[in-house]
Structure 1
């Protein structure tokens, strides 16, 4: 069963609707002491990374998340929370991976936020993208991106520059796009995560 971190910063309705379509069971994690009942954890997120981190701290979930050994998937801002630091609000994040979250502004000649469908190069060998074409399209909405680092990258996307659109370190996974809004490819990714 999937535990969804419920810290007031996630687009939970779209995620739960996708999980319902896939007949995947889930529950809400409101405190660190009820994570044990779940086999997989999802950290959803929309909006401001600094504010999201503050909400995690207020909810007392930070240490519980960092101590997890079961599979964890961060989505959008939930992925950015896994990094060391974000330029959004100059915020120190969970620092599960030694990479930073940067702002697109002044770095690309394109419109910010990056919004809409874009291809994701997942030619790396990993279970998260199993059965998904190596250049499948996923749905993005973000103004901040995770700097490309081959050590942690499972997939990358190009939007004026090359950035990591999926990352992994041990049991922690993150995707910058929204699988719950990405049609068949996104649903396959959610199924793959639940099979890890």
Structure 2
């Protein structure tokens, strides 16, 4: 996973930024992908209608701008193409890490630290508990904050919050819905495939 900014919490200038987006059909439903020139900035589940509109509005609000006109933000186009290719390979069962550059602009602080730890050290087909992830992120008492960070993850699947489980082994929550989390974990061999 390529990080596009030095230290967690580092941010670009406050000037509006250009970005591009697309919707990609996947086995877990349509995913909205948005990227800046720095990297992939968001992935949103169930990306049709109002859900897609809300995801796009959130990106516009946080980045202070709107999608780039055609012919601009060529790097964003490249990041979108790379993300789409890597997601296609992921959903085809290819066990390789995501290498698309990530733009962490939609997160920060402890949540960003936790998400970076998750992206770097919880590979395909493995899981981690909320408590263990809190310890790895340097704050053993922050298991609930880890849960909040997972719920606010702007880059699900690529930053694999579906791999975070309760300490009891229970599946826990998921912003994309529990059915989606189960499908992703089954695809990675962590849970059995559904019978129907």
In our comparison, the structure showing a higher alpha carbon Rg is: 2
Question: Per the shorter chain, which TM-score range?
Answer: under 0.3
TM-score (norm 1): 0.27
**Greater fraction of residues in strand:** 1
TM-score (norm 2): 0.27
**Greater fraction of residues in helix:** 2
